[in-house]
């Protein structure tokens, strides 16, 4: 089958001046993932490569440049899930790892458990060949300044250019039909140390089932958890085409993948009054995306092989 790839760089109030950087980051992530998938590489390698590019880019809230917690430290979460086996690898509260998605992958492939946290996760990472860095290496100057302002006053989005959230995610299908979804985040700014959001939780921030599709979410984690949004979106993919905003008929002109994405975000708004977004691929590789924040950074590979990015 034809490979497919979709990525996101978070749903938030992306200010005008950050739009180009977000789009460029998504483009680079697509390029990294697609260079693997288009040559017959695996969806696991493709998602990992795409996520690593986004983690390394400080415009996003994952890996280097993540938001700081109340103690002024970066604390990262990541997950990757295999749609064929329904097995996930997830790591949370990492303070000494540059690319948390690599730890998630090691857990997926080599750990009898599906989720490890904090010091135990870092020990596992080290034992499996991932170099640990100093916590300071993950702190960008911009985030330190923002954190100082929050501390002097009180936490406020304006100290972050309106940048409250910018989790990253990717979903890929390879030529053999393998489907993987992944999410990586630094969580929310000024969070309590030890806080875990939706992102690394199976079914909340990420889900993949080859029978239906794969999803990566972003947004207010405490709301996303309430409706188990990633699993909800995958379940919606299983259902027949039903349009939320207008009656279901052929003239609706919206793909079932796109409908499922919209329905999940609609449910988030209706049941939790929370904000967020998601990307997905259905099992045939059709992309879907939706958000109820002012903007979301995302990109996918079109059927002609072109990269489509938007904010």
Cβ proximity to ligand ASP: between 165 and 272 the closer is: 165
Choose, by CB under 6 A, the member of 69, 92, 165, 286 that binds ligand ASP.
165
Under 8 Å between Cβ of 79 and 85: no
Cβ proximity to ligand ASP: between 175 and 195 the closer is: 195
Give the per-residue contact string, 219-258, with ligand ASP (x = CB under 6 A; - = no): x-x--x----------------------------------
Active site residue 309: no
Under the criterion CB under 6 A, does residue 95 sit at the interface with ligand ASP? Answer: no
Under the criterion CB under 6 A, does residue 169 sit at the interface with ligand ASP? Answer: no
Tell me the window of 92-100, 123-131, 192-200, 237-245 that interacts with ligand ASP (CB under 6 A): 192-200
Tell me the window of 35-43, 130-138, 194-202, 241-249 that interacts with ligand ASP (CB under 6 A): 194-202
Per annotation, catalytic residue among 47, 85, 167, 188: 167
# of chain residues touching ligand ASP (CB under 6 A): 16
Active-site annotation, residues: 167
Query: Which residues contact ligand ASP by CB under 6 A?
Result: 10, 61, 165-167, 185, 187-188, 197-199, 205, 218-219, 221, 224
């Amino acid at each position: 089958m034809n490979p497919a790839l979709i990525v996101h760089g978070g749903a938030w109030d992306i200010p005008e001046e950050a739009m180009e950087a977000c789009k460029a980051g998504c483009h680079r992530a697509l390029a990294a993932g697609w260079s693997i998938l288009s040559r017959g590489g695996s969806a696991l390698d493709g998602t990992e490569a795409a996520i690593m590019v986004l983690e390394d880019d400080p415009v996003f809230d994952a890996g280097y440049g993540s938001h700081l917690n109340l103690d002024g430290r970066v604390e990262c979460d990541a997950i990757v899930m295999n749609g064929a086996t329904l097995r996930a690898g997830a790591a949370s509260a990492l303070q000494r790892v540059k690319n948390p998605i690599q730890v998630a992958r090691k857990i997926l492939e080599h750990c009898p458990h599906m989720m490890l946290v904090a010091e135990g996760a870092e020990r596992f990472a080290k034992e499996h060949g991932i170099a640990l860095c100093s916590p300071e290496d993950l702190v960008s100057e911009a985030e330190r300044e923002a954190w100082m302002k929050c501390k002097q006053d009180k936490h406020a989005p304006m100290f972050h250019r309106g940048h409250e959230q910018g989790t990253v995610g990717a979903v890929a299908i390879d030529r053999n039909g393998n489907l993987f979804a992944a999410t990586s985040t630094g969580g929310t700014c000024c969070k309590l140390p030890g806080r875990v959001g939706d992102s690394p939780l199976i079914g909340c921030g990420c889900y993949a089932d080859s029978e239906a599709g794969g999803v990566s979410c972003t947004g207010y984690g405490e709301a996303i958890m309430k409706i188990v949004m990633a699993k909800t979106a995958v379940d919606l993919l299983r259902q027949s085409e039903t349009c939320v905003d207008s009656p279901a008929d052929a003239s609706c002109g919206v793909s079932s993948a796109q409908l499922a994405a919209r329905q999940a975000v609609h449910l988030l708004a209706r049941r939790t009054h929370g904000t967020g977004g998601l990307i997905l691929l259905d099992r045939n590789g059709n992309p879907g995306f939706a958000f109820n924040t002012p903007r979301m950074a995302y990109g996918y590979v079109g059927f002609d092989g072109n990269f489509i990015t938007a904010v």
